[in-house]
Structure 1
């Protein structure tokens, strides 16, 4: 598996949890429903919520932010040369959707 290029970094696991309690439409969303909306495995959303994982692809980040009803950069920040992505533990990096 090739490492992703310039993943998006989650600004705050606590903010993700808070936004999941009250989405843009005012309702709570479950881990499974958010994972379905983003096209990822529920464990990835669970790991993002606990802080065990801090990154997602740009497409996943956009889907998560969109389903929660917030702008992409409210919840995510881009990575690159000036803002390197954290190294994810190997056992978390290979979770298929």
Structure 2
């Protein structure tokens, strides 16, 4: 089993959208194609594009950057003790004690 990786933080949702419109090879990439390349659900890519989500695993971030034709750190920042990952917000209701 692989050790758990710190998530990567998206630098800018707008930059992701721009890079998807014109990748390193000059062609547009769809949400579904990018999700297939990253090995994640298309809704995750959609949430990254809208800013509803800011993080991805290192492997997903690397695959997204590779598919878009850019270096990893153009689109993503490492997280760790010095740069904590933002808490993902959820639309789900939290349980409250009775």
For the criterion TM > 0.5, the same-fold answer is yes
Q: Please report the RMSD computed on the Cα atoms of aligned residues, expressed in angstroms.
A: 1.5
- Residues 1-97 of structure 1: matches in 2 within 5 Å? 5-90=5-90
Distance 1:78 1:51 in 2: 18
Q: Where does the alignment leave 5 or more consecutive residues of structure 2 unmatched?
A: 93-98
Distance 2:89 2:59 in 1: 21
Q: Where does the alignment leave 5 or more consecutive residues of structure 1 unmatched?
A: 93-97
Q: Higher helix proportion, which one?
A: 1
State TM-score, norm by structure 1: 0.87
State TM-score, norm by structure 2: 0.86
Stretches (4+) displaced over 4 A: none
69-78 or 4-13, which deviates more? 4-13
What is the number of equivalent residue pairs in this alignment?
Answer: 89
- State the structure with more CA Rg: 2
Distance 1:11 1:72 in 2: 11
